[in-house]
Amino acid sequence: MELVYSTQNSDFDPEKRYRNPAHFDRPEAGVTHAVVIGDWPKVVDAYEALGVEISVLKSLISQPVDSDVADTFASLEQDNATLRAERGGIQRLIEAAEGLSELEHPGAGELPIRLFDALKAIHEGVITIEGERDGLAGEVELLRTEVERLKAAAEPVDNAEKIASLKAQLDAANVTYRANASVESLEKAVADLQQA
């Protein structure tokens, strides 16, 4: 496939494919011949490194470019390069976050560094919460054990045995009581005996 790199914005040949070289970041797959119009060494070098046939043509713009436009263009190129570098750093951070792998500091770029710091803080917060959760799980297990122990200790002794024991003590002391007396009234009568 032939691909033309040009900054033109009109007079396109409908039989050809065009790309703006100002937005070039890597060669496209499947290109067998690249036509570069103007001075775009980055594009030429990238395709030459792949062994793709390159044709370089002079720019279609014949009038001289005024220095303000050239400075603006240079500034835009620098901004574009900075944005590409930041984009790469952000992509690496996103891939690390998606894969739940170790985050690596991007090294440069304001946005990637800010994103790295935010993701690192979130990661540390999650680790802290996990530690607290594990600690609470241990405490819950201890509480369950204590509740079971207290339940076992609080289970009433068989009331029939207790009533028989209390009645036996009252019979031995010749104290009368109702046949259907409650455990509480029998306990009170035995307590009164011990005070007397």
Q: Are residues 191 and 143 in the same domain?
A: no
Which residue segment(s) compose the domain that 179 sits in?
Answer: 159-195
What SS3 class is residue 77? helix
One DSSP character per residue, 124-163 reads HHHHHHHHHHHHHHHHHHHHHHHHHHHHHHHSPPPHHHHH
Is the domain of 93 the same as that of 136? Answer: yes
Tens-place pLDDT, residues 102-145: 777 777 777 788 888 888 888 888 889 998 998 898 899 999 98
With a threshold of 0.75, does the pTM exceed it? no
| Residues whose CB is less than 8 angstroms from the CB of residue 93 and which lie 6 or more positions away in sequence, other chains included | 103, 106, 112, 115, 116, 119
Quick one: 12 and 45 in the same domain?
A: yes
User: For residue 64, is it within any domain?
Assistant: no
Quick one: CA dihedral 173, 178, 182, 188, positive or negative? negative
pLDDT at residue 68 is higher than 90: no
The two three-digit tokens of residue 153, written as one number: 């200790």
Same domain, 143 and 177: no
76 domain residue, yes or no: no
Split into its structural domains, the chain has a count of 3
Sheet holding 33-37, edge to edge: 17-19, 2-5, 33-37, 53-57
Q: What is the CA radius of gyration of the chain?
A: 44
Q: Which two tokens stand for residue 184?
A: 């509480």
Is 154 contained in some domain? no
Are 92 and 133 found together in one domain? yes
**Residue 179 belongs to some domain of the structure:** yes
The residue written with tokens 């405490």 in the block is: 139
Averaged pLDDT for residues 15-38: 92
Same domain, 12 and 51: yes
95 and 139 assigned to the same domain: yes
Would you state the pLDDT for residue 4? Answer: 94
Residue 73 lies in a domain: no
**Has residue 72 been placed in a domain?**
no
Domain assignment present for residue 100? The answer is: yes
Tokens, residue 61: 């713009």
pLDDT band per the 50, 70, 90 thresholds, residue 66: low
